[in-house]
Structure 1
Amino acid sequence: MNVRDPFGLHRKSALSIFRTTASRAAIDLTERAVEASVNAIEKSKQVADNFDMSFAVPKNVPSFGNPQRIVEDRVWGNSAVTSRGGRGPSQPAKNSGMFGEVQGRVGNLFDNREGLPMYKDKPYAYPASQRVRPIWRRKRTLLTALVLLSLLYYFGVFSQRRDTAVSPKPVWGWLHSSPESSKTADWLKRRERVVEAFTLSWDAYERYAWGYDVFHPISKKGEQMTPKGMGWIIVDALDTMILMNLTSRVAHAREWISASLTYDQDQDVSTFETTIRMLGGLLSAHYLSSQFPEMAPLAEDDPGAAGEDLYLEKAKDLADRLVTAFDSPSGVPYASVNIGKYEALPAHDEGGASSTAETTTLQLEFKYIAKLTGEKYFWDKAEKVMEVVDNNGVQDGLVPIYIHATDGTFRGHNIRLGSRGDSYYEYLIKQYLQTNKQESVYLEMWNESLRGVRKHLVTYTEPSGFTIIGERPNGLQGSLSPKMDHLVCFMPGTIALSVTGGLTEAEAKKRSTWTKQNEADMQLARELMQTCWATYKWMATGLAAEITYFNIANPPLAESAPHRRPTDNLDGDAQAEWRKDITVHAMDAHNLQRPETVESLFYMWRITGDIKYREWGWEMFKSFMNYTAVQDGGGFSSLSDANVVPPVMRDNMESFWLAETLKYMYLLFSPNDLLPLDKIVINTEAHPFPRFDMGQLFSTGWKRKPRDAEGKIIK
């Protein structure tokens, strides 16, 4: 039996394992048995009278790694966050967020505290509820805790843990303890809190929706997006668990991928989403498990093992199906693929046009699998798209957001760095970095586009002077819309990455290649980062809206115009001047647990070394914990309205919550030598790939046509 996988392919009766071995697997099962018994005792309300604890150990129970039930049942399960509408910021709240009702007794249970203060640094913080529990409830809680602690001590489970990255004894008073200064903060402990949040999310999914593509944490059910499921959540979260060293959970996910994941399904899927999440997730898992065997080590991944290439084999199977999307007259991929029939399909709207960002955000994945397999057609198909797009000769490197797969021409004139435009720009610089800066054409295209962004999209708000990237919905000759999707907040980090190539700013400045333009670009990155952070601070929950509008001058100030800058200390006072610069429409107030801002915080911290970016990330993380936790052990949910307290829940956990948002939080609080930025490139779904040399087999198969000063092709 493989003791690292007690619920794996060699599954036995949990009871028999418990009786016959004292291995780590047995201890793991003991934890689960204790969990089941205590829950039964709680439900019967007869802890004191029914202490004989006679029970049968179930064969299939949820993971107990990182004290799931203690945390969920006593903290998350009693959260004051509800799935219904709440009050606006000016009204007193009966509840006080996640810890309002339970923080005092949780503190007593784990910390020996009388009470835990709520946030002091949030615009709309409310005092903890003072409702007194009935005496029998308090006794039951105490007795249950004593029984559980006694059993855990008896079986020795405090001495061993399955998942080595997780603190063996969580003390949930951390969220409300006295604030640490930047100099005294223990960032590794803060990182452990992120791991705990991840395991709460994952274990809720594992318990209520295992194998399903969609998870509804409030209703505690799952749904499939295809007849047999695509492993949407499992595959997307896999490399996060490897990084976090969550070995048992990786083993369970790997088992599902091996035994249950099949792409032989008569189903249309999004070319883009399936590539960045599923193909990217499998390729990243292959990279991490093969190059960093100390991360969540599994015998199945060892060289020579029968399943050594599982992730790569699945990735190759999927890529063979997805690559049919490129079989269009122009080479621009169609929006969808029937993965069972190997058939490409045009989009159902926009006259069948594909999204520009989606057609140009497949290249990292297909180039990497080409490098791994030696299959050159993956490379050639993906790179051809870049030539077709560039041959349109757009002005100043700014592309409309739709493109026809039939002839490779753009549809419409809408230009933005939000949805359907964003990752085109991101993958320009990342393609350059992926091949160790050997494809200079992509650096040239990136620099041209960034100049275009400065010239046509950057302006400043009034009265405070935030720097924003607006939109040109009617083309570059049309008016500037002061609208920013949350998606645009990938730009600060991407700009900084483009300037230094992944080195620190201090290292890059020592090189002879450092220029005044590099200095200006870093300043733009800093200003945009502050703007993205302001969109969080403006909201009642401290969690940004999906779309934010800004107050700008008419006509808008040019990027080169002198402008004031707001202070980093964004006062939470509802009457603070900086708040006048921002507006959020009611229909845009949802928060989907998106990663772009924390992604940029991660890059900005690594590159500048400015501690404020870590602190902003920590404050953001606390807001997620406080306002998105779901009752009764459901994990976390996206929000329908993040500008009321308590917020309105959406009853959905996005897969990128696990794949991106929590991963970037983890990396933000990690030492800088974990995935060093000058050695890797991270895809748009936060899946890390290695940088590599192209070698003799691969090359840039096209050259740019001559351009004028505006980037238009000279005929």
Structure 2
Amino acid sequence: MLSHNGINIFILFLLHTLMPSNFVLTISNRDISSLREKVVSMFYHSYNGYMKYAYPYDELKPLTCTGHDTWGSYSLTLIDALDTLLVIGNQTEFVRVASALVKTLDFDRDINVSVFETNIRVVGGLLSAHLLSGRVGFQLDDNWPCDGPLLNLAFDVAERLLPAFDTNTGMPYGTVNLRYGVPEGETSITCTAGVGTFILEFGTLSRLTGDQRFEDAALRALNGLWKAKSDLGLVGNHIDVQTSKWTAQDSGIGPGIDSYFEYLLKGAILFDSPWLLEMFRELYKSIVVYNKVDDWYIWSNMFKGKYSMTTFHSLDAYWPGLQTLHGDVANASRTLKNYYSVWRKFGFTPEFLQIAHGLPIKGRESYPLRPELIESTMYLYQATKDPYFLEMGREILHSIETSCKTKCGYATVKNIITHELDDKMESFFLAETTKYLYLLFDANNFLHGESDPADNDLKCKMHSQGYIFNTEAHPIDIGALKCCHTKRIKEFETKVTPLPLTCKTRNFDARLSFGENFIED
């Protein structure tokens, strides 16, 4: 293991090797418009390829132009891509696809699924599409956005995930059967992100429907993680959800932990929760002390604070975006430029890079079309309007377009050195990668702006307080949530019969506070 000084020396060498010496900013409004059109073309090429060759399977295999099931056999790419259709302006296709999903989706199936992936992709995708459906008038009634067919689907699948949270600690198992609950013999070991990445979707469900079970489950899980952190204020990578014993003690910002931090900060914003914000801030302070080295972030032991792995992971690239959302723009910018230097060297970021040598780790040389670098670039451009970040986006777009495009989609880069391709196109390519690229080059998109005149006739004012993206880039409308939550509280306080709800199992328990009630000794 390298010493701190050794890391510094290698990082300085790496930066001088990778960063361009003369970076000229030449981007114009015409260029930006052209780039936006290229992203739209990229989206439709992969979307149409999926619909032609892969639907109703989960994902497209872009080299062989076939489909296969990956996370649950529920047309995952179509669910994940639904809100992107509205982001790029295709209202007609959104209505067509949403109508088809309402008619065909059935989650009453004897299949084992990832609790984490099903939540962020399926529950998140359906909730976002439901909240955006007001822009096109899709099957709205007087109770919208507090009820609706897409919300009912989200409720159905999320309810099937709830048995996973029935543990001694409230932290969920990693796998659940959609019909029968937690499989017999299921391991109680779950990654930290798999425990702490529910409050956005589950909290949204509770605020829209009045059913408190979802919010309660997510908060208990977060409280379980909070109690299990080390005395240094760090969390590890994997934990036993029955005993709270850490089985992997490496602490960092990347794989296995990443979206836990993301959901604390975004949950604090979405639900006005001082409790979640304080948790994020305390953890953030510890990360700066024990994981940050010259604007890179490495791994350390959660109990001893000593460096354990001096590696960069492609998933780390979400971090500057989260820093920007937190207001730490200067540090975010420096870290993103470090990560971008890796992209410039190879044309892509590998899953794992040994920072000291500036080379990918053997067996982890792939780039599976991940969005995180683009995500942070979009956040930083929105915060600074610095054209440097547009140039970054242009180069990223060029790399993907020239190296990953196939006859029917875009393929994972199997090896970033040779640019050999792999027959995979994960659903997040249409949910996140293309969406964040489009938003980077579309300064006037409704997701960036203030309230829209098109929302004036809606009882719950859409778009009035902005959006929060879940970790799969599904936007959640803050104003719509607050509107429904207020309605549910009024129903409870005045003992008026609740609004009619399609799902008969919904339970109403309005709660005025958020999170503070769940701090246990």
Q: What interval of TM-score do these two structures reach, taking the shorter chain for normalisation? A: 0.7 to 0.9
Residues 18-45 of structure 1 show CA distances to partners (whole Å, capped at 9, x for unaligned) of xxxxxxxxxxxxxxxxxxxxxxxxxxxx
> Residue 354 of structure 2 aligns to a residue in which SS?
strand
Q: Distance in 1 between matches of 2:200 and 2:132?
A: 16
Q: 1:459 — aligned with what? A: 293
Letter in 2 for 1:640: K
Q: 2:298 — aligned with what? A: 470
> Residue 397 of structure 1 aligns to a residue in which SS?
coil
Q: 2:424 — aligned with what? A: 652
Q: 1:145 — aligned with what? A: none
Asked if 1:206 corresponds to 2:86, the answer is no
Q: 1:39 — aligned with what? A: none
Per the normalisation by structure 1, the TM-score is 0.61
Does the aligned pair in 2 maintain the 1:469–1:484 contact within 8 Å? yes
Q: Distance in 2 between matches of 1:604 and 1:346?
A: 46
Q: Distance in 2 between matches of 1:122 and 1:218?
A: 33
Does the aligned pair in 2 maintain the 1:327–1:344 contact within 8 Å? no
Deviation at 1:327, TM superposition (A): 1.4
Q: 1:443 to 1:414 in 2, by over 3 A?
A: same
Q: 1:594 — aligned with what? A: 370
Q: 1:355 to 1:226 in 2, by over 3 A?
A: closer
Q: 1:523 to 1:226 in 2, by over 3 A?
A: closer
Deviation at 1:314, TM superposition (A): 0.7
The structure, 1 or 2, with the larger RCO (C-alpha pairs under 8 Å, 6+ apart) is 2
Q: 1:622 — aligned with what? A: 398
Asked if 1:236 corresponds to 2:80, the answer is yes
Q: 2:107 — aligned with what? A: 263
Q: Distance in 2 between matches of 1:195 and 1:352?
A: 43
Q: Distance in 2 between matches of 1:421 and 1:234?
A: 27
Does the aligned pair in 2 maintain the 1:218–1:651 contact within 8 Å? yes
Letter in 2 for 1:687: H
Q: 2:340 — aligned with what? A: 533
Q: Distance in 2 between matches of 1:346 and 1:469?
A: 38
Identity %: 28
Deviation at 1:238, TM superposition (A): 0.6
Q: Distance in 1 between matches of 2:367 and 2:254?
A: 15
Residues 462-518 of structure 1 show CA distances to partners (whole Å, capped at 9, x for unaligned) of xxxxx210012575343342101111111101011012xxxxxxxxxxxxxxxxxxx
Q: 1:84 — aligned with what? A: none
Q: 2:494 — aligned with what? A: none
Q: Distance in 2 between matches of 1:421 and 1:312?
A: 28
Q: Distance in 1 between matches of 2:289 and 2:171?
A: 28
Q: 1:287 — aligned with what? A: 131
Q: 2:258 — aligned with what? A: 422
> Residue 204 of structure 1 aligns to a residue in which SS?
helix
Q: Give the alignment partner of residue 639 of structure 1, picking from 409, 413, 416.
A: 413
Asked if 1:433 corresponds to 2:272, the answer is no
Does the aligned pair in 2 maintain the 1:356–1:421 contact within 8 Å? yes
Letter in 2 for 1:309: G
Does the aligned pair in 1 maintain the 2:233–2:286 contact within 8 Å? yes
Deviation at 1:316, TM superposition (A): 1.1
- Match runs of 1:33-48 below 5 Å: none
Q: Give the alignment partner of residue 181 of structure 1, picking from 11, 26, 32.
A: 26
> Residue 329 of structure 1 aligns to a residue in which SS?
coil
Q: 1:326 to 1:602 in 2, by over 3 A?
A: same
Deviation at 1:538, TM superposition (A): 1.2
Deviation at 1:383, TM superposition (A): 0.9
Asked if 1:488 corresponds to 2:316, the answer is yes
Deviation at 1:337, TM superposition (A): 1.0
Residues 204-245 of structure 1 show CA distances to partners (whole Å, capped at 9, x for unaligned) of 111111111121111111122478x21211101110112112
Q: Distance in 2 between matches of 1:478 and 1:122?
A: 29
Letter in 1 for 2:473: A
Residues 610-641 of structure 1 show CA distances to partners (whole Å, capped at 9, x for unaligned) of 111111011100110000011xx311111111
Q: Distance in 1 between matches of 2:71 and 2:467?
A: 32
Does the aligned pair in 2 maintain the 1:214–1:653 contact within 8 Å? yes
Q: Give the alignment partner of residue 166 of structure 2, picking from 327, 336, 340.
A: 327
> Residue 366 of structure 1 aligns to a residue in which SS?
helix
Does the aligned pair in 1 maintain the 2:25–2:387 contact within 8 Å? no
Does the aligned pair in 2 maintain the 1:441–1:703 contact within 8 Å? no
Asked if 1:384 corresponds to 2:220, the answer is yes
Deviation at 1:412, TM superposition (A): 3.4
Q: 1:392 to 1:263 in 2, by over 3 A?
A: same
Q: 1:611 to 1:395 in 2, by over 3 A?
A: farther
Does the aligned pair in 1 maintain the 2:202–2:214 contact within 8 Å? yes
Letter in 2 for 1:690: D
- Match runs of 1:499-510 below 5 Å: 499=327
Q: 1:213 to 1:180 in 2, by over 3 A?
A: same
Q: Distance in 1 between matches of 2:92 and 2:67?
A: 22
Letter in 1 for 2:139: D
How many residue pairs get matched? 458
Does the aligned pair in 2 maintain the 1:414–1:475 contact within 8 Å? no
Q: 1:185 to 1:612 in 2, by over 3 A?
A: farther
Deviation at 1:396, TM superposition (A): 3.8
Bigger mean CA deviation after superposition, 694-703 or 663-672? 694-703
Q: 1:609 — aligned with what? A: 385
Q: 1:401 to 1:586 in 2, by over 3 A?
A: closer
Residues 432-483 of structure 1 show CA distances to partners (whole Å, capped at 9, x for unaligned) of 1011xx31111111111111111111113xxxxxx21001257534334210
Q: Give the alignment partner of residue 702 of structure 1, picking from 485, 503, 516.
A: 516
Please give the root-mean-square deviation of Cα atoms over the aligned residues, in Å: 2.7
Asked if 1:344 corresponds to 2:182, the answer is yes
Q: 1:21 — aligned with what? A: none
Q: Distance in 2 between matches of 1:300 and 1:602?
A: 29
Q: Give the alignment partner of residue 350 of structure 2, picking from 527, 542, 545.
A: 545
> Residue 484 of structure 1 aligns to a residue in which SS?
strand
Q: Distance in 2 between matches of 1:476 and 1:249?
A: 53
Does the aligned pair in 1 maintain the 2:140–2:148 contact within 8 Å? no
Letter in 2 for 1:368: T
Does the aligned pair in 2 maintain the 1:471–1:484 contact within 8 Å? no
Q: 1:705 to 1:426 in 2, by over 3 A?
A: same
- Match runs of 1:21-100 below 5 Å: none
Q: Distance in 1 between matches of 2:108 and 2:441?
A: 40
Q: Distance in 2 between matches of 1:347 and 1:450?
A: 36
Asked if 1:273 corresponds to 2:117, the answer is yes
Q: 1:393 to 1:470 in 2, by over 3 A?
A: closer
Q: 2:469 — aligned with what? A: 682
Letter in 2 for 1:245: G
Asked if 1:366 corresponds to 2:202, the answer is yes
Q: 1:407 to 1:196 in 2, by over 3 A?
A: same
Q: 1:667 — aligned with what? A: 439
Q: Distance in 1 between matches of 2:133 and 2:469?
A: 16
Does the aligned pair in 2 maintain the 1:457–1:480 contact within 8 Å? no
Per the normalisation by structure 2, the TM-score is 0.82
> Residue 301 of structure 1 aligns to a residue in which SS?
coil
Does the aligned pair in 1 maintain the 2:265–2:326 contact within 8 Å? yes
Q: 2:191 — aligned with what? A: 355
Letter in 2 for 1:676: H
